[in-house]
Structure 1
Amino acid sequence: MREKRVVNLVLRTYSLICGNSNEINEFVEQHHLSAEKHVLLQMFTCFADEQFIQDIRNKIIEQIPQAIIMNMPIDKVQKNEAVIANNVMITCTVFSNVSQISTILSLSEKDEMNSFLTLSNSIYKSLHDIEAFYEKKAEEKVACIAYFDAETGLPNRLHFTNQVEDFVQRFSKKKKHHKLAVLFIDLDRFKMINDTVGHYAGDIILKQLAKRIQGLLPKKSFLARFSGDKFTILITEDVEVEKIADLGQTLLHDIARPIMYEAREFFLTGSIGVSFYPNDGITTELLFKHADTAMNLAKQQGGNKMKFYSTEMNQQVLYRLELEGYLRKALEKNEFHICFQPLIDLSSGEVYGSEALIRWEHPKLGLVSPGEFIPLAEETGLIHEIGKWVLKEACQENKKWHDMGYDYLTISVNVSADQFQQISFIDVVKEVLDETGLPPQFLTLELTEGVMLRNISHSVIVMKELQKLGVKVSIDDFGTGYSSLSYLKDLPINTLKIDRSFINNLKVNTTDIAIVKAIITMGHGLAVKVVAEGVETDEQIELLKELQCHYAQGFYIDRPMKSEEFEKGLAKLKAL
């Protein structure tokens, strides 16, 4: 009971493993001990260097004049490696009044020395317990940083890789045929959210999605944040194709549900790739590679899809790598050329300009579709160099036609997302106009809705700068994007281009004609011109005229053609 009573008198306790008497100064200052009047210091020693011990005592007396110092030989208390290594262990206990210290000291004068030593050991052990506790916490924190994602709290890439490797190794040693499924999930167009509302909001949205996904997973499955906006899942039980397909569809549906952030709704979709152990790989590396391949194919096909790995995908990957190698040399080998598709004024039927369309004629592969090489150029960063070349060639040709007497012709050029977001984009446009001498009012730059909405405030600034130059801005493929009409009224644009998907089935009494009519009416209301692309029949032309669409282009009018053919067509029109 006495020991318990004494311990309760302690206000606070500090400790120091001292190897140099100068350390006392810092110790006293750190714990504000110099002004304390009721201090008991115990010095635990185990060697005979009396001078060193005396130096420490003197330093303590100098710094804490009121302190009571007691020597505690190490053989009377529990030994400690730090003390044995030519150091002195100092335990400093601060009490509220002198009578409490007297109680402690009285123990050492009676036969109750054991009680005092028990108290000393208790203080001594408590300090080490606290130290061990914080060391353990620090180790746990290091492990957490190493194996878990800070934003979502999910296992990270390293942790997930170890989990998959552990199952692969375990299953490879068993005779019974076991299966695993590895799913890679990549969020489509997530960069648009980061660019629009910032990375902090992006992390919050990712956290919400992680919770959604986690809630859908079967037992004994593992979810991780692999990197950025990519999640990975390991399924270890009931690995059947049908069940994985059902799970994938459920995940896609749940990811597509709107996410609320600061009273705004955000819509996302995902691309999922799946590989199976052992069918698609017997190593972690192959399982990851093949799941990633399948996921990328789902993404290339427009996203919001799930793909299972197949050996044919490897052929596609190899082809894509081959294509990239050829693409890097295409510009210097002069394998690109521009085709021009006429644009007509529906009210007069006359050609008023053209759209410049890049074509790639490769000596081995033949004519490569823009749908194949443009996304690859964007992915590899080659689009900047290629885009500038297209812009310059198009402006150069149009200026040539002006000099030939067709000085009313305009030229439209498509601009990719990566080009448009470049800080130097305006300078590139200025440079091309200066070099070619084309008046800026005859150049129209076509942007998709997705391009503009990546960073709406930046887009508006760039579009206004272009219009200051005299360059016109058009929204391409209108109606297929993700913009709100509230954005549209604030965008400084000159033209809306109706996507060909609405023109393809343009007939009387169809849904498409209602949509086209609404877009044309909206264009008139916003005082912008409307172009219909993909016109292929006389019926479509007549309907567009009735709806008061301004311009049209498509195979019915003329196909894209090289510069020489376009000039011949212009000459025929002039002769008429």
Structure 2
Amino acid sequence: MQPPTPSAPPIVPVAASLAALASYSSNAVLVTDTEGLIQWVNQGFVDALGLAGAEIVGSALQDLLQTPNKPLTREAIDDGFRQATGFVGEVMVANHCADPLWFHINCSPLDPVESGYAGFVAILNDITRLMQSRQQLRISASVFERSHDAIMITDQDNRIIDVNPAFSRITGYSRDEAIGQSPNLLSSAVHTPAFYQNMWDSIQQNQFWRGEITNRRKNGELFTELLSINKVQLDGPAQWHHVAVFSDITELKNHAEQLNRVSNYDELTGLPNLQLLIKRLQRNITQADSHGQKLTLIHIDLDQFRLINSRFGHSAGDQVLTEVGRRLKTAVRENDTVARLTGDEFLLLLPECHHDNIGQRLLTLLHEAIAVGPASVRLSASMGIAHYPADASEPHQLLRHAGQAMHLAKDRGGNACHSFDPSLQRYREKRRELLRELHCALSNHEFVLHYQPQLNMTSGQIIGAEALIRWQHPQRGLLSPAEFLPVVTGSDLEIPLGRWVVREACRQCSEWYQAGQDLKVSINISAHHLMTPDFPEFLANELAIHPGLPSRNITLEVLESTALDDTRQAGNVIEACRAMGFEVALDDFGTGYSSLAYFRSLPIDLIKIDQSFVRNLLDNSNDRAIVESVVFLAKRFDRPVLAEGVETNAHARLLRDIGCELIQGYGLARPMAAAPFNLWLADWSEAPLQRQRAMLQG
């Protein structure tokens, strides 16, 4: 028996051979009495746990051992001692640093006859690393089973040897269906052979590949996965596995594509939006600079498109915009860009465009009829063209110049195409400055109304007057409407100025009525003003300000083109005004797209023949035929008719002979301010029949 050491106290009377053998063993060995109290430990035990033998001897082995794993429990150990059968199992012991160590323990009873001692000998084999490996394997197995990412393992022959549940969930193939198969069972045939060759080259060179790939599920559905493949080397030099881990990113890709579409494409038409067009414009400019090429940018704005929405509804308007986008796409090349800017505006980016008449071609294309339910519409547009590098040096400047050219086309009546000219910028600046002055003029009460008399040639009576706006400019004097109204049309000043005209005309009409002059005052109403939702309410409020004024004394003059652009909506507004007692005249009749159906359906009280037909009445047989037709139609539908632009007595006599009784024009009197009008009216009223005869006799 070895001599005792401080850490391994001697025991008596353990057999010398047993103690000697235990002292030489690297395993931890201890001896207990029949109750399980430790009597002796070897050096291997001391080395393993870092505990001095003196600290251990006398303590119960049951207290030293922790048995978290079944079937070796505290009860099993107690039974082993009590029944003298011993026990075997895995236990955990804390070392001197309180770190857990795992041991396989085999505790056997000693035969007193053979060993000379009654008790137990326990041999503890350190299996800590084994238990840690088991733990890692359990964690790996749990990860393999519970991972949300699919895992596929293949052998050297690229045959599947295992897959996890996520693989089955994503692909639709069960584990049994996948094992033994090639990963090609997922192939979508989307990628080229070169794609797969590059993937395998990377795996061979780097032991790794990662990227996106499109595969096919068992049900045939394509899906996009984010895939990583690792080449895992085994013990042998020529042994390896491939471990493929992938996640289904189809929804993520779809969401990204949706975000891309929302960010870069118009939802209604599917066309690129301004943001994407600018990106392409920047790229094309770079390419143009590199190759000495040119770019063309066309800005398109549909004329009077809001009337389609008003007449047919926004759904029909969307249908028309979609068709416009489709037509523009068919009119350009594959590498050209058609973008929707906003509302009814489109942009065309044309690299290397050599068609000088491209604008006219597009106008013709857009003018072709578009079906809207049972009806159809024909569009006109205002277009502006700018070229790079001739007209601009950077993208935003090119966009501005194309827009300026488009606005010039619109200012000049629309249905036209204009190329950018440096003078356009000066024109636009002058227009903005004039609009600013007009705002100030309205605030400073610089506008005045002049009144042009209207005559009944049968009775000789002045039946009313048309209110015509003038601008009393502080420096330039009295300005006619032609010098400022085109700038007002379509601007933010159109409604406020229109309302001022109505207020002032109603005030003057009320003043005349209170003075005993029962005159009708005609007021020109713009299309935009007429179609404002609160227009009838605005008229009712103005009438309430002048309670003594009969509403029949106010005539609202609506341009024929306004009424006929949206007959239904215009008819509803006109009917609401007539219900309050206002009379409605259809102005400039003959300049629009007149038809018997419109003539019959519009709720109007008076037809005004446009002065362009009246002016040439004496010399142009076609104009005379038009005037005669309008007068005939008016009589057939029991509507009075008034001729504008009567400049001479000869015009008046011919109109009387045709059957038109009501006239207005320079041949009768020029427009006058209210005070001179009062004097002129008083003079006329002294002998109306004589003045009427003098006029008609020439």
Give the TM bin, normalised by the shorter chain: 0.7 to 0.9
C-alpha distance 76-323 of structure 1, shift in aligned 2 (>3 A)? closer
Question: Which residue of 214, 218, 222 maps to 2:337?
Answer: 222
Name the counterpart of 1:563.
674
Q: Alignment partner of 2:490: what SS? A: helix
Q: Residue type of the partner of 1:251?
A: L
Do the aligned residues in 2 keep the contact of 1:447 with 1:473 (CA within 8 Å)?
A: yes
Q: Alignment partner of 2:549: what SS? A: coil
Name the counterpart of 1:434.
544
Do the aligned residues in 2 keep the contact of 1:184 with 1:295 (CA within 8 Å)?
A: yes
For residues 413-465 of structure 1, the C-alpha deviation after alignment (integer angstroms, 9 at most, x for no partner) is 11122222223222222222222332111111111133334543333232222
Q: Residue type of the partner of 1:147?
A: N
Q: Residue type of the partner of 1:433?
A: L
Structure 1 distance, partners of 2:455, 2:512, is 17
Q: Which has the larger radius of gyration?
A: 2
Name the counterpart of 2:683.
572
Structure 2 distance, partners of 1:508, 1:120, is 88
Specify which structure has the higher proportion of helix.
1
Quick check: 1:497 aligned with 2:608? yes
For residues 204-224 of structure 1, the C-alpha deviation after alignment (integer angstroms, 9 at most, x for no partner) is 222333333333335743322
Do the aligned residues in 1 keep the contact of 2:310 with 2:569 (CA within 8 Å)?
A: no
Name the counterpart of 1:269.
380
Do the aligned residues in 2 keep the contact of 1:168 with 1:282 (CA within 8 Å)?
A: no
Do the aligned residues in 2 keep the contact of 1:191 with 1:454 (CA within 8 Å)?
A: no
Structure 2 distance, partners of 1:116, 1:297, is 70
Do the aligned residues in 2 keep the contact of 1:160 with 1:224 (CA within 8 Å)?
A: yes
Quick check: 1:404 aligned with 2:515? yes
For residues 458-486 of structure 1, the C-alpha deviation after alignment (integer angstroms, 9 at most, x for no partner) is 33232222222221011111112235431
Name the counterpart of 2:313.
198
Question: Which residue of 456, 473, 477 maps to 2:567?
Answer: 456
Tell me by how many angstroms 1:157 deviates: 1.6
Q: Give 1:179-328 correspondences, 5 Å limit.
A: 179-217=294-332, 220-239=335-354, 243-244=355-356, 246-328=357-439
Tell me by how many angstroms 1:49 deviates: 10
Structure 1 distance, partners of 2:146, 2:341, is 58
C-alpha distance 352-204 of structure 1, shift in aligned 2 (>3 A)? same
Quick check: 397-406 or 287-296, which moved more? 397-406
Q: Alignment partner of 1:556: what SS? A: coil
Tell me by how many angstroms 1:232 deviates: 1.4
Name the counterpart of 2:531.
421
Question: Which residue of 545, 550, 555 maps to 2:656?
Answer: 545
Structure 1 distance, partners of 2:613, 2:433, is 35
For residues 347-374 of structure 1, the C-alpha deviation after alignment (integer angstroms, 9 at most, x for no partner) is 2343211000111122245444424533
Aligned pair count? Answer: 491
Name the counterpart of 2:10.
none
Do the aligned residues in 2 keep the contact of 1:220 with 1:237 (CA within 8 Å)?
A: no
Q: Alignment partner of 1:306: what SS? A: strand
Do the aligned residues in 1 keep the contact of 2:147 with 2:166 (CA within 8 Å)?
A: no
Q: Give 1:33-432 correspondences, 5 Å limit.
A: 48=136, 77=153, 104=176, 115=180, 129=224, 131-173=248-290, 176=292, 178-217=293-332, 220-239=335-354, 243-244=355-356, 246-407=357-518, 409-432=519-542
- What's the RMSD between the two structures over aligned residues? 3.7
Do the aligned residues in 2 keep the contact of 1:77 with 1:121 (CA within 8 Å)?
A: no
Tell me by how many angstroms 1:180 deviates: 1.6
Question: Which residue of 481, 486, 489 maps to 2:592?
Answer: 481
Please give the TM-score of this superposition, normalised by the length of structure 2: 0.64
Q: Alignment partner of 2:445: what SS? A: coil
Quick check: 1:445 aligned with 2:556? yes
C-alpha distance 347-52 of structure 1, shift in aligned 2 (>3 A)? farther
Q: Alignment partner of 2:385: what SS? A: strand
Q: Alignment partner of 1:506: what SS? A: coil
Structure 2 distance, partners of 1:575, 1:71, is 106
Structure 1 distance, partners of 2:488, 2:419, is 26
Q: Alignment partner of 1:279: what SS? A: coil
Do the aligned residues in 2 keep the contact of 1:496 with 1:528 (CA within 8 Å)?
A: yes
Gaps of 5+ in 2: 1-133, 155-163, 188-214, 218-222, 226-247, 688-698
C-alpha distance 140-356 of structure 1, shift in aligned 2 (>3 A)? same
For residues 156-196 of structure 1, the C-alpha deviation after alignment (integer angstroms, 9 at most, x for no partner) is 2222221112122333455x4x3221111111111111211
Tell me by how many angstroms 1:90 deviates: 5.0
Structure 2 distance, partners of 1:146, 1:374, is 40
Structure 1 distance, partners of 2:182, 2:506, is 94
For residues 318-366 of structure 1, the C-alpha deviation after alignment (integer angstroms, 9 at most, x for no partner) is 1111112112221221111110011111223432110001111222454
Structure 2 distance, partners of 1:435, 1:406, is 19
Structure 1 distance, partners of 2:627, 2:261, is 55
Q: Percent identity?
A: 32
Please give the TM-score of this superposition, normalised by the length of structure 1: 0.76
For residues 133-173 of structure 1, the C-alpha deviation after alignment (integer angstroms, 9 at most, x for no partner) is 44333333332332222333322222222111212233345
C-alpha distance 222-552 of structure 1, shift in aligned 2 (>3 A)? same
Structure 2 distance, partners of 1:228, 1:439, is 42
Structure 2 distance, partners of 1:211, 1:118, is 43
C-alpha distance 120-249 of structure 1, shift in aligned 2 (>3 A)? closer
Tell me by how many angstroms 1:51 deviates: 10
Structure 1 distance, partners of 2:457, 2:411, is 36
Structure 1 distance, partners of 2:186, 2:563, is 71
C-alpha distance 391-283 of structure 1, shift in aligned 2 (>3 A)? same
C-alpha distance 281-528 of structure 1, shift in aligned 2 (>3 A)? same
C-alpha distance 133-540 of structure 1, shift in aligned 2 (>3 A)? same
Q: Alignment partner of 2:466: what SS? A: strand
